[in-house]
Structure 1
Amino acid sequence: MVKEEWRGLGNVQFLDKLKALSKSLGRWHKQYFGNIPEKIQKFEDKIKKVDDQVSNGVYDGTVEARRKALVRCCEVWYTRQDIHWKQMSRSRQAKEMDMNTRYFHNIAPARRRNNRIESLVINGMLVRNHARIKVSIRDFYRNLYHQEE
């Protein structure tokens, strides 16, 4: 879709192409990802109808396969909804972060603490010495990616 839109704009200036492309992407997004809660509700309603059929005694392999497919689709839309809200929260935080340096200075050490390896099991033993952990990790990858003669 992006290739077709880009080529269809012809010899327009780059920035104008980007603006036009963003409008096309917006239309595409509305068409395929429009109202996520509404799509989730539709799938849940379909799943409920299948469950009602089963409870009324209509049951065969196709009903079970259809229900599994509907549940998978519903899970995909739940994941998309989670991603959407996560992205929205990050963009809000980024806007606020520019105005709030104290927030930024509190987040950076927290990320450092979360990303730090406090202990590691090496040859069946728990090691907490950071220098030894560093050497073990380096040796592991050196052995993993060594050149064969």
Structure 2
Amino acid sequence: MDPFTRVSNKISNTRHALVEWSKAKFGSLKREIEEVRAKLAVFFDQSLAALPGEDRLRLELKLQELLQKEQIFWKQRSRILWLSEGDMNTRYFHQCALNRKKKNLIKRLRDVNGVWRTDDKEIQDVVLSYYKELFQRSYPANMGEVTDTLPRVITEEMNVDLTKDVSNEEVSMALKQMKLSKAPIPEGFAPCFYQ
């Protein structure tokens, strides 16, 4: 197996393991918050003697910790860059994440015959055929005559530099220049994972 496939498989396996970890770690976050709030509500509904101060304080600290975890979760989920130190999690940020998902979803596309396609496979075929046609159409046979009249801007040294293999240092430098929580690549990881 070639190195690229090995790395690709490892990234895929890591993504699946992280999805399972996230379900185990954060899947019950909402339920835990509700349970702690319910316990605190009992304290506030009854007399001050109903729950000792130490227990109440412990529950309030636990609730604060859970709310911070929830805020981090939604911050990462919604990818709102300006939310660096905002309010505790609100419905607004939850709605932003849902709206972003809806906005990025392609529900239908019209094919070359004007027929709307809604099936995922059909939508994929419409996109592929569009770009295949776009990049294959009207390639004139006498392009050499046209390009010979254009001034050469790229020198032979520049061409050699542009076509050489990418070094580890270049990849590392490019990764370090990316914003940590920008949009993930197809594997589902943001640049901070690779950094």
TM-score by length of 2: 0.35
TM-score by length of 1: 0.43
Ranked by relative contact order (alpha carbons within 8 Å, sequence separation 6 or more), the top structure is 2
